[in-house]
Structure 1
Amino acid sequence: MSDVSALLHRMGSEQVDLKRRIVVALVENPFLDTETEALSARLSHPPDLVGRVLDDLCACEVLVQSGWGGLGLSPAPEVYGQALSLAAEQQREGTSLRKQIYEMETAERLKQQLAVSQREVEAILDIVPAGVLIFDRHGHLVKSNRAAWEVLGLEKGRAEGIWEALGVQVDSGDRPARPTLAELMACAEERRWELDGPPPVEVVARPFSVGVRGNGVILTVRDISERRAAEEAGARLREDFFSMIRHELLKPLLGVERALGGFGQGGWMEASERDALFEHARMGMQRLKAMIDDMLLLARLERDPLAVVPKERILLTLLLTSADLSFRERAGEMGLTLRTEVPDEEVEFIGDEKRLMQVIDNLLDNALKFTPPGGTVTLRGKIVDRRNVDRGSWIVDRKNKATSQVGGGGGESRITNDESRDGGGGRVEEWVEVSVEDTGIGIPPEEQGRVFGKFYQAQQGPDRQEGLGLGLAICQRVVAAHGGRIEIDSKPGHGTTVRVWIPATPQT
């Protein structure tokens, strides 16, 4: 009877391993099929090698013929005991090997996940509109995105000179306006600075924690060319605004000053001359008061949603004739014809009468100012069907229960029965339309988009009119507070039409 361990080491390493596996397999399964072909397939070794190993194990009496016809381990205690020890050792080695394989597979899996995560982070950084640069506590670049390199004008991935490009001093110096690298690495709160460029760049540094490795810093860089341009434009606008305010407010005050100066000269004065001075001073004060009132009203309209309260019953004809009376004399003095067209039937609607009168007054004032002598200004009012305001104006004939379209239809008039248009006997939603049409100079196309802006004034060279340019801004806000619409149709050299639509009853 041979020693199993000695037997296993008597042959080459490949046979030793094969013998070991056969013995262990029979320990684990005494009824294992020991036919050469079956073992060859199970253990993945050539049949001739498996046959030689089986012969050698039988010759040494490690394997014997079993009662069920196959080969089995010898029942001798010394053989069987060593076989059990060998199986236990093999199991320990297998467990260790499986652990190593598991650790290797886990490490590879983590490596792949890390690579995916890095690609995801890079993809996310690349869609961020601002440039992003991430540095570790030693000042080494860890991550960045494409936008950062484009803003800084550097080649992507080349970190040489990046701190200089960011306006950061690598070593301490005597330029306190620039942050140092040491300061950034030690900073505990956000810090920002700007680079003049070109292009001008805003840099924002924020600290972040990287766990046991200490702190790092994230820098975002943004091209602020548009913001700088907007700031410069805003500064110019403020300067122009205050210059315009000073100019417009001083004009009436200078008129009053001249009038008072005339009184201060003493001596005898004709009654007509004295009355003219009084009138000049009065008109100057009225203009000054009107401009101040406009500024206060606009500020209130923007601040207080209850500055306009549509709750009064207003007669459209009375509103239009009141405006006509207020401007007819002035129109005549300017050599203009003022026409007012009122609806045939009585039209009543709900609104804020004082504010709507201001709207009509502002529109008529503009029309008169920008219409040369001999021209015509027409004020119209009518009731329309709101559902078709967007496709032109529909006049509502309440006597005949029909509507007819005017404008936007090539001069064609259409009569449509109410019942067919509102789904069968429903009430037409009535809106009031007020329009002011003039034959004046018109508004250039490039300025038409700005006419409702605050302090807008038409630039007509030496013909520029006085005022603060708040009239249309006030009109727009008053009309909006009524739930209505205001539109301008203008053609240079042919005149301007402003249309206002107000719901006949407040919109809920």
Structure 2
Amino acid sequence: MRSLSSKLVLAFLLTSLVGAVLAAVFVRQLVSVQFDAFVVGQQREFFINRVNDYYAARGSLIDINQWVLERTERHAPDLPDGGLPHPSRFALLFGLADPQGRVLIATKPYQVGELLPANILAAGTPITNNGTLIGVVITPDIKTIRDPDEERYLASTDAALGMAAGITALIALVLGILLARLITSPLRELSAATRRIAAGELGHQVRVRSRDELGQLATQFNQMSADLARAIQLRHQMTADIAHDLRTPLTVLSGYLESLRDQILKPTPERFATLYAEVQILQRLVDDLHTLSLADAGELTLQRHPCPPAQILAHVAETYRHAAEQAGITISDTVASNLPEVVVDDERLCRALGNLVSNAIRHTPAGGQIELRAEQDGDHLLLQVCDNGEGIPTEHLPNIFERLYRADQARQQAGGSGLGLAIVRSIIEAHGGTLGVESAPGAGSRFWVRLPITPASIPQRKD
């Protein structure tokens, strides 16, 4: 029994059987107790009435044992005065003792004439006549009181309970099969979908049938499938983009070197500068890939130490001021007063902010402005890079920090590896910070970074 359906059916069946058996035992016990109490009460009342009739007719209970014996063995006539109508059957069931406890009618284990113990006498049922105690009834074991008809009634009750348990088990089996199919149907779909994904059909979705745990599982599976398909697509795109980014400088290097080798071109400082620039492009691309690989492995080292935010922003602004001026863009930095020092790896943080500034320069037209801001936000430092450039379409904002993602694919030739913003995210998250972007087409962009100020709020990283 390896299938989940079989296990569920067995579980339903066993649970129902156990419940039915327990219910049957409980009902049987309750019926038996109540029925026995009814039988005892009825027969004891009948016995007491006969004893009272005998006492009324005779004035005493002398020889009552012999009278009972005669009516047990045969149908006896009524007493001469007609005071005692006889039953069709009068079995020796109950015992009888006089008020002093001497046995008048025997019942196991007491014999006629034997004196009853005080506790047995106290547990008996008193018989009174006109307020006078004339005897005490001793109730025997209940099994000696039942007649065959009563036993047959209890046996029929047992049979009915057994039949009910069997019907319950059958219903449980049918319901178990239906419920097992209902429960396992989404699981079978998930299993089939998993096999299809394993076979290469990425992005396959399953129907979400409910809002319970199985529905949540199906929703999460669909999300995982979509994310996996997107990750594979991004991997393919990343491979193609990296190949493209490598091909351009390598083509330039190869062409220049072949021409220099064949003496078609003369080696001049300008040509060597061009070759060096292309090598630098390759070096930056390799460095970017190396940084991301370290971040993925959790091995991005951070050399943290206290650093004034004003110093960080001033360094970044000065580093990119020349490039901004060449593009006709004004760059400035604004730092709030009395900012505390922040414990960071200033070199990597400057690189992250530099990537944001470099991105802003590429997407801001001549005459535009780029502003770097720093202010305190509770127990965090808020750093911002704002520009009044072309902005980013809303549909691209969720993916802007993905590797090799370009909101404008036409700009692929304009420079940049497409890894800059992904590196920004890796560095900021390594510091225990968060980042985001607000932008709209034609309204510019605002990239923000929140970093914890106190060292205690910085997660431990592998250094």
In which range does the TM-score fall when normalised by the shorter chain?
A: 0.5 to 0.7
**Residues 69 and 290 of structure 1: CA distance in aligned 2, closer, same or farther (over 3 Å):** farther
CA distance in 2, matches of 1:76, 1:334: 125
2:322 aligns with one of 317, 324, 329: 329
- Alignment of 1:295 with 2:244, yes or no, is no
- Alignment of 1:308 with 2:302, yes or no, is yes
Partner of 1:241 in structure 2? Answer: 238
CA distance in 2, matches of 1:341, 1:74: 117
Q: Percent identity?
A: 22
Report how far residue 500 of structure 1 moved. 1.5
Q: Is the 8 A contact 1:442 1:495 kept in 2?
A: yes
Report how far residue 452 of structure 1 moved. 1.8
Secondary structure class of the residue paired with 1:64: coil
After TM superposition, the structure 1 = structure 2 runs for residues 427-506 of structure 1, keeping only pairs within 5 Å, are 429=379, 431-461=380-410, 465-506=414-455
Report how far residue 339 of structure 1 moved. 2.1
The amino acid of 1:259's aligned partner reads Y
Q: TM-score, normalised by structure 2?
A: 0.59
Q: Is the 8 A contact 1:62 1:74 kept in 2?
A: no
Partner of 2:164 in structure 1? Answer: 108
Secondary structure class of the residue paired with 1:249: helix
**Residues 70 and 230 of structure 1: CA distance in aligned 2, closer, same or farther (over 3 Å):** same
Secondary structure class of the residue paired with 1:434: strand
Secondary structure class of the residue paired with 2:328: coil
**Residues 251 and 193 of structure 1: CA distance in aligned 2, closer, same or farther (over 3 Å):** closer
Partner of 1:282 in structure 2? Answer: 276
Report how far residue 380 of structure 1 moved. 2.5
**Residues 75 and 67 of structure 1: CA distance in aligned 2, closer, same or farther (over 3 Å):** farther
Q: Is the 8 A contact 1:64 1:74 kept in 2?
A: no
What per-residue deviation string (whole Å, max 9, x for no partner) do you get for residues 443-464 of structure 1? 1000111112232222253676
The amino acid of 2:350's aligned partner reads M
**Residues 265 and 373 of structure 1: CA distance in aligned 2, closer, same or farther (over 3 Å):** farther
**Residues 317 and 444 of structure 1: CA distance in aligned 2, closer, same or farther (over 3 Å):** same
The amino acid of 2:171's aligned partner reads A
Q: Is the 8 A contact 2:291 2:300 kept in 1?
A: no
CA distance in 2, matches of 1:67, 1:252: 138
Q: Name the Cα RMSD after superposition.
A: 4.5
- The structure whose residues are more often strand, as a share, is 1
Q: TM-score, normalised by structure 1?
A: 0.54
CA distance in 2, matches of 1:436, 1:255: 34
- Which 4+ stretches in 1 moved above 6 angstroms? 25-28, 74-77, 87-90, 191-197, 199-202, 222-231
What per-residue deviation string (whole Å, max 9, x for no partner) do you get for residues 441-491 of structure 1? 111000111112232222253676433322222222322232323221112
**Residues 442 and 235 of structure 1: CA distance in aligned 2, closer, same or farther (over 3 Å):** same
Comparing both chains, which one has the higher relative contact order based on Cα–Cα distances under 8 Å and sequence gaps of 6 or more? 2
CA distance in 2, matches of 1:104, 1:265: 108
CA distance in 1, matches of 2:173, 2:270: 85
Report how far residue 26 of structure 1 moved. 8.2
**Residues 239 and 346 of structure 1: CA distance in aligned 2, closer, same or farther (over 3 Å):** closer
Q: Is the 8 A contact 1:262 1:277 kept in 2?
A: no
**Residues 112 and 229 of structure 1: CA distance in aligned 2, closer, same or farther (over 3 Å):** same
- Please say which of residues 293-302 and 64-73 is displaced more in the overlay: 64-73
CA distance in 2, matches of 1:505, 1:328: 31
**Residues 69 and 239 of structure 1: CA distance in aligned 2, closer, same or farther (over 3 Å):** same
Secondary structure class of the residue paired with 2:399: coil
The amino acid of 1:445's aligned partner reads T
Partner of 1:380 in structure 2? Answer: 373
Secondary structure class of the residue paired with 2:432: coil
Q: Is the 8 A contact 2:205 2:225 kept in 1?
A: no
After TM superposition, the structure 1 = structure 2 runs for residues 181-192 of structure 1, keeping only pairs within 5 Å, are none
- The structure whose residues are more often helix, as a share, is 2
CA distance in 2, matches of 1:259, 1:75: 130
What per-residue deviation string (whole Å, max 9, x for no partner) do you get for residues 407-461 of structure 1? xxxxxxxxxxxxxxxxxxxxxx4x3332211122111000111112232222253
- Please say which of residues 255-264 and 447-456 is displaced more in the overlay: 255-264
**Residues 193 and 326 of structure 1: CA distance in aligned 2, closer, same or farther (over 3 Å):** closer
Secondary structure class of the residue paired with 2:436: strand
Report how far residue 226 of structure 1 moved. 8.3
